[in-house]
Each structure stands twice: as structure tokens, then as C-alpha cells.
Structure 1
Amino acid sequence: MKANPRILLTNDDGVDAPGLAVLLDIARDLSDDVWVVAPTNNQSGTGHRMTFGYEIEIEARGERIFCLDGTPADCVVAGITHVLKDKRPDIVLSGVNRGQNLGDIMHCSGTAAGAREGALHGAIGIALSQAMDYDHGRDEIDWGPAAELGAETVRSILDVAGARDTYFNVNFPICAPSEVNGIRLVPHQRFAHSPFELYPSDNPGKHFVTILNTPKPLDAGADFHILHEDKAITVTPLMLQQTDMEFVQRHQGRLPFTGPARA
């Protein structure tokens, strides 16, 4: 790990979210060169959406703390190319998200997008989420595992992080910090089908897009099972290069040409 790295923080729960305060403590345990650019309001589920064609306003909220009326990806762009343009960050940390980001769900995660956008700019991108039990309501969450073990987890990742074509998705389990069963490098769960569905609201004609049930079966070696059943911190390395190279190599030259016939 580089001595005193420059660290940019963002999240998708908003600049006033308690998880961002947890992330600040984590980052300040790693460096004294820590900056925040986070959304003004909650941007959960926005994925990697960029705000194109609309003006964005950046507001200073404190020393080295800024917010803007955009998405997590917007925030990272603003942080790297505007706020810190004279000395870009070495690391982008996104989170700590309120609730787990597991399996295919991460494709719509604004938290994951913050880390991904950081990696696209050449930084080491790490998304962090604290798991919670949604059956007990959204107000009941114990930040203890992320707060107490977050800095150690990030250090462990930085010690092995190599190619900048990789970013990382981290989840902390629901348990006391003393009960956490280590850190595991795991693949993300590929569900049998998308977990999202349309759910009717109590208001006639209105609906929610939500997750009612987790698609089964689950892989015992993937993030979903390891986090919830083994109570381990899950770390999933993800690639920016999404091309299925095996497919390209296997079928190169085999696609039929359907253009106009040559004379």
C-alpha cells in the first residue's frame, strides 16, 4: 500500500448518510489526504447512470467535503476531473452502503458504480456495503463490522490489488465484529433469473420495482451464501473488460455476412 494515498469517497445513500461517516473514519485510518464528493440526495439503484444534458451544481459542505445533485458516477467524475484534477486520487472508496450488494443486484448498484467509475479513471476502486436484515425494517442496522474491520479489509485488498482493470465489491456480514469469520475472495452469485419484479402498491394502479424473493438455488461458494451463512466478509474482484473473450475466439469468422451481394 502506498504511503498516505489520496483517497476520494462517494456513496449512493447521500452525503448525510451514516454509512458515509463510517467510510470517512475508515479512510482516515488509511490516510490524511481524504476527500468526499457525494450525492446531495439518495441515489440508490441508479447504477452507472450519468447525468447528461442537465446542469450539475457542486456545493461545499465542509473541509474537503462536497456534494452535487447527481449520481455516484457523476460524483466520481466531478471529484477526479474537477475537485482533484491537479492531483488525482489513488483510491476511490464507495459506501458504506446501507444494506448488502450481492450477486446480480450489483449491476444496478450506485455504490458499485462509484468504485467502477473510479477504476475507469485509473484509481483502485472499492465498493463497501454493510449487510442488514430487511425483515426487521430499514432503520435497524449495525455498522459495527464495517466500522471496526473496514480499514483492515481495505488494507488487505490494497496489498494484493494489481491491474487497474479490476475493481472490488465488499460486503460485511450481519453479526458482531468479534463473530466475523475472516475475509473471503469469492465470485458473485449468478441468480437463475433476475431478482427484480413489479409489486403492486396499496395505491390503486401504482407499483414498486422490488425484490420479493431471492432466486434459488444459491451457490455455496458465492458471495450470497458466504456472507449470510458463513458470516465472512466477502470480497469480489470485478473486471472492467466485460467482453466474453472465449466466445470471441471460438466463433471468430463464423458470423454470417448478410450485407448486399457483391456484383
Structure 2
Amino acid sequence: MKVNPRILLTNDDGVDAPGLAVLVDIARELSNDVWVVAPAANQSGTGHRMTFGYEIEIEERGDRVYAIDGTPADCVVAGITHVLKDRRPDIVLSGVARGLNLGDIMHCSGTAAGAREGALHGALGIAFSQAMDYDHGRDEIDWGAAAAHGAAVVRSIMEIFEGEDVYFNVNFPIATPDEVSGIRVVPHQRFAHSPFELYESRNPGKHFVTILSTPKPLDADADFHILHEDNAITVTPLMLQQTDFDFVRRSGGSLPLNGPGRT
């Protein structure tokens, strides 16, 4: 592991979110060169959206802490190409998100996008999310597992990371630090169909996009099952190169301009 790496932090819950404070403590276990560039307001569910065609304001909130009226991806771009342009970060950590980013849900995750954008700029990108029990209210969350084991997860990834074209999605279980069974490197759950659906609000004519239930069946070797059933921290390496090369091979590199049924 590089001694005293430069670390850029972001999130999607906003610069004042408690999970970001947890992430700052994690990063300071690894380095004293820690910087924060995070959204000024909640940006959950924004995915990898960029703010194009609109001005972005950067506000200095404290020593090495900046808030931006944009998305997590915007924040990473600003952090790497503006705030830290003198020397780019070695690591970009995103989170710690309030609630999980497992399986196909991560495709809309601003937390995952922060790590992905960091990796696209050449840094080691890692997204952190902490499980919570939604039945006990959205504000009640125990950050203990992430706080206790977050730095160890980064160190473990760095021990075997060799600059692969990947970023990492990490989820912490609902468990005390002593109850965590270990760190498992697993694939993400591919659901049978998208978990998102429209839910009718109590206000006439209004609706929410939400997840009412988890699509089944679940793969016993994937992140969703391992985290919930084994109390393990899940680490999923995700490719930046998304091309299906098998399809490219099977197609021979081209498709007929006049396909079947056309003359």
C-alpha cells in the first residue's frame, strides 16, 4: 500500500450527511492527505448523471472540504480536475451511503457513480454503503460495521489491486463490528427483472418510483444473499469496459444492413 496516499471523498447523501463523517474517519486511518468534495444537497439515485449546460458553484466549507451544487460524478470531476489538479488523488472513496447499493440497484446509485468516475480518471475507486433496517425508520442507522472495518477493506483491496480496469462496490451488513463474519469478494445480484416500480402516493394523481419487494430467486453466491445471510462485508469488482466481447466475436464484428425479413 502506498504510504500516505492522496484520498478524495464524495457521496450522494450530501456534504452534511453522517455517513460522510464516517468516511472521513475511515480515510484518516489511511492517510493525512484527505479531501472532501461532495454535493451540497442530497443526490441519491442520480446515478452517473453529469450537470451539462448549467453553471456549478463550488463552496469551501472548511479545511479541505468543498460543497458543489451538483451530482457525485460532478463532484469527482471537480475534485480531480480543479481542487486537486496539482496532484490527482490516488484513491476516490464514495459514501458511506445510508442504505444498501446491492445487485442491479447499483446502476442508479450516485454512490457507485462517484467511485466509477474516480476510476475513470485513473484512481482506485471504492463505493461504500451501510445496510439499515427500514422498518425502524430512515434516520435510525448503526454505522458501526462501516466505521470499524472500512479502512481494513481499503487496505485489503489495495493489497491485490494491480491497476485493473475496475472499481469496487462495497456493502456493510446490519451487524455489530464483532458480528461481521469477514470480507467476501462476490458478483452482484442480477435480478429476474428490474426491482423498481411505480407506487401510488396518498396524494391523488401522484406517485413514487420505489422498490416494494426484492425480485426472486436470489443467487446464493451473489452480494444480496451473502450480505444478508452471512453477515459478511461484500466487495464486488465492476468493470469499466462494458463491451460484451462474446457478442462482438459471434457477430464477426458486423451485422447485415438488410436484416431478416427485409429486402
TM range (shorter): over 0.9
Tell me what 2:174 maps to.
174
Deviations 1:151-203 (A, max 9, x none): 11111011111234100000000011100000000000000000000000000
Task: Map 1:104-183; keep pairs closer than 5 Å.
Answer: 104-183=104-183
Q: Could you tell me how far apart the structure 2 residues matched to 1:9 and 1:245 are?
A: 33
Aligned partner of residue 234 in structure 1, secondary structure: strand
Corresponding residue SS for 2:152: helix
Moved more, 223-232 or 248-257: 248-257
Question: CA offset at residue 255 of structure 1?
Answer: 1.5
Give the secondary structure class of the aligned counterpart of 2:227.
Answer: helix
AA paired with 2:248? V
Question: 2:211 matched to which residue of 1?
Answer: 211
Match of 1:209, SS?
Answer: strand
Query: Following TM superposition, where does structure 1 have runs of at least 4 consecutive aligned residues deviating by more than 6 angstroms?
Result: none
The C-alpha deviation readout for 1:199-232, integer Å capped at 9, x for no partner, is 0000000000000000000000000000000000
Query: Could you tell me which residue of structure 2 aligns to residue 88 of structure 1?
Result: 88
Residues 158, 252 of structure 1: CA spacing in aligned structure 2 closer, same or farther, 3 A cutoff? same
Contact 1:48 1:73 in 2 (8 A): yes
The equivalent of 1:244 in structure 2 is 244
**Which runs of no fewer than 5 residues in structure 2 stay unpaired?**
none
Determine helix, strand or coil for the equivalent of 1:169: strand
With normalisation by structure 1, the TM-score equals 0.97
CA deviation vs aligned residue, 1:68-97 (integer Å, no higher than 9, x gap): 000000000000000000100000000000
2:127 is paired with a residue whose SS is strand
Is 1:20 the counterpart of 2:24? The answer is no
Q: For residues 248 and 254 of structure 2, what CA distance do their matches in structure 1 show? A: 10
Partner in structure 1 of residue 42 of structure 2: 42
**How has the CA–CA distance of structure 1 residues 82 and 254 changed in structure 2, closer, same or farther, with 3 Å as cutoff?**
closer
Moved more, 215-224 or 129-138: 129-138
Paired residue secondary structure (2:126): strand
Q: Is the 8 A contact 1:9 1:38 kept in 2?
A: yes
Q: What is the deviation of 1:140? A: 1.3
Identity of aligned residues (%): 81
State how far apart, in whole Å, the 2-side matches of 1:62 and 1:46 are: 26
Task: Give the whole-Å Cα distance in 2 for the aligned partners of 1:120 and 1:60.
Answer: 25
Amino acid at match of 1:124: L
SS, match of residue 213 in structure 1:
coil
Contact 1:15 1:40 in 2 (8 A): yes
SS in 2 for 1:44: coil
**C-alpha contact 1:94 1:126 (8 A) present in aligned 2:** yes
Distance 1:56 1:101 in 2: 27
User: Is the Cα contact below 8 Å between 1:131 and 1:174 reproduced in 2?
Assistant: yes
Bigger Cα displacement from structure 2, 110-119 vs 148-157: 148-157
1:74 aligns to what? Answer: 74
Which string of whole-angstrom CA distances, capped at 9 and with x for unpartnered residues, describes residues 48-85 of structure 1?
A: 00000000000000000001000000000000000000
**Cα distance in structure 2, aligned partners of 1:254 and 1:93:** 39
The 1:167/1:253 distance shift into structure 2, 3 A limit, reads closer
Aligned residues: 259
Q: Distance in 1 between matches of 2:81 and 2:254?
A: 42
Aligned partner of residue 24 in structure 2, secondary structure = helix
Relative to 1, partners in 2 of residues 1:201 and 1:258: Cα closer, same or farther, differing over 3 Å?
Answer: same
Whether contact under 8 Å (1:122, 1:164) holds in the other structure is no
Shift of residue 41 of structure 1?
A: 0.2
Paired with 1:254 and 1:98, the residues of 2 have a C-alpha distance of 44
